[in-house]
Structure 1
Amino acid sequence: MTAPPTTDRPLKPENLMGRTRLGDSEYRSVVRLLTWLGRVRAADLAHPRVRRWGVPAFYALGGIPALMRAADDSGPAFVLMLAVTVGYTVPLLWRRQRPVLVFAFLVVLSELCLFLAVDSGSSATQLVALLNLGRFGAPGQLAVGVVYNLGQTFVSIAFFNGLKESNQTASTPVLAFLAVVAILSMAALGLAGKLVNAYIEALQEHAVQLELERDQRARLAAAGERARVAREMHDILGHTLAVIVGLAGGAAGLAEAKPKRGADTLRIIAESGRGALAELRRLLAVIHDDEPGDTPLAPQPGLADLGALMKRVRSAGRAATLRLEGQLTGLPEGVQLAVYRIVQEALTNTLKHAAPDTTVEVTVTADAEAVHITVEDTGPRQTAGTDELGKGLVGMRERAALYGGQVAAGPNSRGGWTVRALLHLTSTAPDLMEKHPA
C-alpha cells in the first residue's frame, strides 16, 4: 500500500492516485490534452465566427445520411428532408442572441417532424438550443425546456417503436437513458455557463467600480491638495504683503528725514520679500516634486520661527510681544505649523486693520492635552475689513479643526481685536474654549 504523502515533499499526481499511478506516457498525454484545450480556447476567442458557423455545419453533416436515403426514395422526400435539415441547423446561427426564439422554433419543428414521422439526423440541435437556453435564458425557461425535451424523448422513442411490445427492442431503455443523460448534461452545462458569465460580469463591474473609486480618490486628493496650497499661499502672501505695505508707507516718510532709517526699512522689505519667495518656491517644489530644482527644500515653519515673525511685525511699526508658556517642546510638526499659521494670520489682520501705533500680544500656552493661542491687539480698528477678515478666520478654523479645535474672534475691552484658538493634542481632550472666551 502506498504511503500517504508527507508535508515535506511535493504532491505529485502518482501520489494522489494511490495504487493507480500515471505513467510518463499518460502524464504527457494529459499535458498535451490540456495544452490543446488551451489553444482551442484561445483560437475560439480570437475567431468567434468559426464556432458560430461551425456548430450548425457540424449538425448539418449529421443529416447527410437521412438526405441520401430520402434521395433514393423520391424527389419530394428529398426536398422535405432538406427543408427539415435546414430548419434544424440554420436557426443555430442566432442561438446566443435569441435563445428562447430558437428553442421555440426547434420545438415546433420537432413536433411537426414527429407528426409526419420524419427522422432527421440533425434533430439533436435541440440539445444545443437547450444549452444556450440555460446560458442566456431565465431559469424558468430552462426548466420548461428540460421537461419538454424529456417528454418528447420518451414519446419519440415510443412512437418510432410502434408502441407495441413485439416491436420494442432491447436497446430502447439504453436509448432512453442516454437521451436523459444528454438532456440533463446540456442543462447543467448551460447553468454552469450562466454562472460563469455572471461571475465574469461581476468581476468586470467590480473592476469598473474600482477604477471609478480610484479616479474619485485621485480627484478628491487633488482638490484637497489645491485647497492646502491655496491656504498656504494665502497665509504666506497675505502676511508678507501686509508687512511690506506697512514698511513701504513708513519708508516713504523716512527717505528724506532719516535716510539711514529709510534704508534699513527698505532692507527689511527686501528680506521679507525674499522670505516669501523662498516659501513659495518651497511650496511649489513640493507640488512639482518630479521636476529637479536647484533650490533646497526648507522645513515647514514652527514655533521656533515665531520670533522672526514677530520681528517682521515690529519692523512694520507695531509694538509686538511674544510669550511662550507650558510644555512646548516635542510638539508634533503639524501642530507647530498650525500654530504658526494661525498666529501669522491673526497678525496679518492686525497689520491690515489696526492703527499703526497698536500694541499686539501673542501668547502660546501648551499642556498635556491642548495648545492655547491668544493674539490680542489694542486697536483701534481703522477699517472693518469684513470680507478679508472672514476669509482669514475660515483658514484659521480649518487648521484648528484638523486637531479637533476651535477658533473664536471678536472685539475686546481695550478697543482692539482678540483671536483665541485651541488645538487638541489628544482625541479625548475636553472643550476648553469655554475657559478662554474671546
Structure 2
Amino acid sequence: MYDAVVTWTRNHPRVADGAVAGAVFLANLWYLDQYPHAAVGLALTVALCAPYVWRRELPATTFAVMALASVAQWLLKGDVDLFPANLLGILAFYNVAARCRRLVSLAAAGVAEVGGLLIALRVEGTAELASAAYGITILIVSVWIWGYTLGTRRAYLASLQERAVRLERERDNQARIAAAAERARIAREMHDVVSHSLSVMVVQADGAAHSLRGQPDRAERALETISETGRSALSEMRRMLGVLRDGEPEDDSYTPQPGMAQLDQLVADARRSGLPVELTVDGVPRELSSGRALAVYRIVQEALTNTRKHAGPNVSRARVRLWYAEDTLEVRVTDDGRGAAARPDTAEGGGHGLVGMRERVAAYGGSLRSGPRTGGGFEVVASLPLVTR
C-alpha cells in the first residue's frame, strides 16, 4: 500500500502537492472564526497554501512568497493565528534545501532562522528568547541537513542514470560502427568470391566455345567447371547475405571461411580453369589464426584472379610460394605473362583488388608489394607477421 501511494505521488506530483495544500487550508479555516480579522486571515491562508502547489518547479519562489505572507502575519501582532498553514513554510524550506543550490538554501535557512526568532520574541518574550532560539536553531539545522542530504542523493542517482543512458548510447554507437565495419568486410569478401568465380567462369566459357565442335570432351569439362564454380559462388554469397540480414549464418551447413587448408583446392580450381599453377611450401608450417589464414587465402585467390585476367593468353605458368621464416610468412605469387596488372584506381580494382590485399596485410602489421618482374611476368609478394606486433 505504501509503495503504491509513493508511486502514485511520483507520477502525479502536482495533484499530491495540491491535496496537501488543500488539506492544510481546510484545517486552517477552523482557526479563522476565533479572531476578528477573518478576511485578512483568509487572504494570508491562501498566500501560505497556494504557492505550495508549485514547490517542485519553483522552490525558491514558493518559499519567498510564503515567507512574505508570514511577515505580514507577524505584523498583525497576533491578531491572526495561522499555525497549521505555517507548517507548510517548514516544508517549503526543506524543499529549498533539497532542490536549490547550496548558497540559496543557506540564505533560506537564514530567513527561516530570523523568522523563527521573531515569532519566539512575540510569543515568549525576551526572557525565554535564548532557550527558544536554541530550539529553533536545532529545528532549522535539522531540516536543512535532511533536505540537503536527500537532494544530494537525488542528484547522485540522477547522474548515475544519465551516465547509464550515455553508456548505453555509446554502446549502441559502437555496435553500429562494428556492424558497418563487418558489412565492409563482407563486401570485400563478396568481391573476392564473385571476382574469382566469374573470372574462372568467363575463361572456361571462352574455352568451351572454342572447343565445342573440335574437342567436345574438353568443352564438357569446361562446362562442368563453370557449373561447380557457380554453385560454390552462390553458396558463399548466400552465407554472406545471411550474415548481413540476420547477423549470423542461416545454416551451419554453409561453407566455413576458407583458410590454409583450402589452398590446395584453390590451386586445383585454377588448374582446371586452364592456368598451370604450382604450389610450394618452404620452411616449417605454423598454425595461423583464422584471420591470418583467411588473409593468405584471399591474397592468393586475388593474385591468381589477376593472373587470369591480365597476364594474357601466353602465360605458361604461375607459381604460389609460401615461405615460413622465424616470425614471418611470405606469400609470393608469380607468373610469366605479359606483366600487366589491374590499376588499383579502376572500377574493377575499386579498392578491393590489390588495394584490398594491402588492407588485409596491413591489418596484421605486414606489407605488400606488387609489380612486373624483371624478364617478364608479374609478382605479388606479401609479408605477414606470424605474431601480433
TM-score normalised by the chain length of structure 1: 0.80
Structure 2 CA distance for aligned equivalents of residues 108 and 46 of structure 1? 31
Structure 2 alignment gaps of length 5 or more: none
Structure 1 pair 303–383 and aligned structure 2 pair: CA distance change class (3 A): closer
Q: Secondary structure at the match of 1:256?
A: coil
| Correspondence for 2:328 among 370, 380, 393 | 370
CA shift at 1:250, angstroms?
A: 1.7
CA shift at 1:349, angstroms?
A: 1.1
Is the CA contact 1:302–1:336 (under 8 Å) kept in the aligned structure 2? yes
Structure 1 pair 132–67 and aligned structure 2 pair: CA distance change class (3 A): same
Is the CA contact 2:28–2:82 (under 8 Å) kept in the aligned structure 1? yes
Structure 1 CA distance for aligned equivalents of residues 250 and 195 of structure 2? 28
Moved more, 300-309 or 135-144: 300-309
Q: Name the residue aligned to 1:44.
A: 9
Structure 2 CA distance for aligned equivalents of residues 136 and 126 of structure 1? 15
| Correspondence for 1:270 among 227, 230, 240 | 227
Q: Name the residue aligned to 2:150.
A: 193
Aligned length: 381
CA shift at 1:151, angstroms?
A: 1.8
Is the CA contact 1:66–1:81 (under 8 Å) kept in the aligned structure 2? no
Q: Name the residue aligned to 1:406.
A: 367
Is the CA contact 1:364–1:373 (under 8 Å) kept in the aligned structure 2? yes
Structure 2 CA distance for aligned equivalents of residues 267 and 256 of structure 1? 17
TM-score normalised by the chain length of structure 2: 0.89
Q: Secondary structure at the match of 1:379?
A: coil
Structure ranking higher on relative contact order (CA contacts 8 Å, 6+ apart): 2
Q: Name the residue aligned to 2:287.
A: 330
Q: Name the residue aligned to 1:78.
A: 38
Structure 2 CA distance for aligned equivalents of residues 319 and 266 of structure 1? 19
Is the counterpart of residue 126 in structure 1 residue 89 in structure 2? yes
Moved more, 240-249 or 398-407: 398-407
Structure 2 CA distance for aligned equivalents of residues 244 and 336 of structure 1? 25
Structure 1 CA distance for aligned equivalents of residues 181 and 48 of structure 2? 64
Letter of the 1:81 partner, please give it.
G
Q: Name the residue aligned to 1:256.
A: 213
Partner deviation per Cα, 1:272-305 (whole Å, 9 max, x = no partner): 2222223333434555477865x71333222232
Structure 1 CA distance for aligned equivalents of residues 247 and 54 of structure 2? 57
Letter of the 1:91 partner, please give it.
P
Letter of the 1:42 partner, please give it.
T
Q: Name the residue aligned to 1:380.
A: 338
Q: How does 1:423-434 map to 2 (within 5 A)?
A: 423-428=384-389
Is the counterpart of residue 420 in structure 1 residue 381 in structure 2? yes
Letter of the 1:405 partner, please give it.
G
Structure 1 CA distance for aligned equivalents of residues 353 and 342 of structure 2? 13
Structure 1 CA distance for aligned equivalents of residues 372 and 339 of structure 2? 9
Q: Secondary structure at the match of 2:370?
A: strand
Q: Name the residue aligned to 2:108.
A: 145
Structure 1 alignment gaps of length 5 or more: 1-35, 429-438
Is the CA contact 2:278–2:318 (under 8 Å) kept in the aligned structure 1? yes
CA shift at 1:173, angstroms?
A: 5.2
Q: Identity over the aligned pairs, expressed in percent?
A: 36
Structure 1 CA distance for aligned equivalents of residues 42 and 138 of structure 2? 29
Letter of the 1:88 partner, please give it.
L
Q: Secondary structure at the match of 2:255?
A: coil
Is the CA contact 2:243–2:250 (under 8 Å) kept in the aligned structure 1? no
Moved more, 40-49 or 197-206: 40-49
Structure 2 CA distance for aligned equivalents of residues 278 and 107 of structure 1? 80
Is the counterpart of residue 110 in structure 1 residue 70 in structure 2? yes
Is the CA contact 1:405–1:423 (under 8 Å) kept in the aligned structure 2? yes
| Correspondence for 1:97 among 57, 77, 80 | 57
Q: Secondary structure at the match of 1:69?
A: coil
Is the counterpart of residue 339 in structure 1 residue 339 in structure 2? no
Structure 1 pair 85–383 and aligned structure 2 pair: CA distance change class (3 A): closer
Partner deviation per Cα, 1:278-335 (whole Å, 9 max, x = no partner): 3333434555477865x71333222232222222223333332211111225333332
Is the CA contact 2:322–2:331 (under 8 Å) kept in the aligned structure 1? yes
Q: Name the residue aligned to 2:139.
A: 182
